[in-house]
Amino acid sequence: MGLLDRVTTQAPAQPSRVYLYAQEKWGKTSFAAHAPKPIFLMTAGETGLLDLINYGQIAPVPHFPDDFKWWPDLLAAVRAVADEPHDYSTLVIDTANGAERLLADWVLREEFDGQMGGKNGYGSYGKGDLACIRHWGEFLRELDRVRGKRRMSIVLLAHSKIKSVNNPEGEDYDQLRPEG
């Protein structure tokens, strides 16, 4: 059998990956709450899901009882979704911005001893950002593991912001982008 004999026109069915960013109160959490069998992981300060449930705007949705305030705990929860038995179909991270902040705080503390400035600090020559990229890649691989192993869709919610862009070829303009 030759290599070309393996060519196909079929695509394997894969669960969705969704990255949804919009301004606060747009309906990101409501959207995700209506995904098939969701489970929410909320980062520090995210209360949108709880407010929607408490005000009767959505039916109760499975979620971890506390918001995640520490990067290793969030990563452990994603791994638990991958490895422990359950019947959820969609993993929702509310929000990706919050996860990014948890990661940056953790990297600052653990890899830079809380030192922001100086030649060996988090902010020196992008060292902190480079360290975060490595760990964020690990996080994305864990989400892909959930998707592949558990056949779950992944939904990352994020807040947006308007950023003014300096245009060297004409008038400046505003751009809507994920907050971060």
In whole angstroms, give the CA distance from residue 123 to residue 32. Answer: 35
Each residue of 97-146: pLDDT tens digit? 999 999 999 999 999 988 898 888 888 888 999 999 999 999 999 999 99
Tell me the CA distances in angstroms from 2 to 6, 9, 11, 17, 84, one per residue in order.
7, 17, 20, 34, 41
Mutual angle of helices 127-150 and 96-112, in 10-degree steps: 130
Residue found under tokens 């308007």: 162
Each residue of 78-104: pLDDT tens digit? 999 999 999 999 999 999 999 999 999
Tell me the CA distances in angstroms from 131 to 24, 57, 79, 134, 138, one per residue in order.
29, 40, 21, 5, 11
How much is the pTM?
Answer: 0.86
Each residue of 20-72: pLDDT tens digit? 999 888 999 999 999 999 999 999 999 999 999 999 999 999 999 999 999 99
Amino acid at 85: P
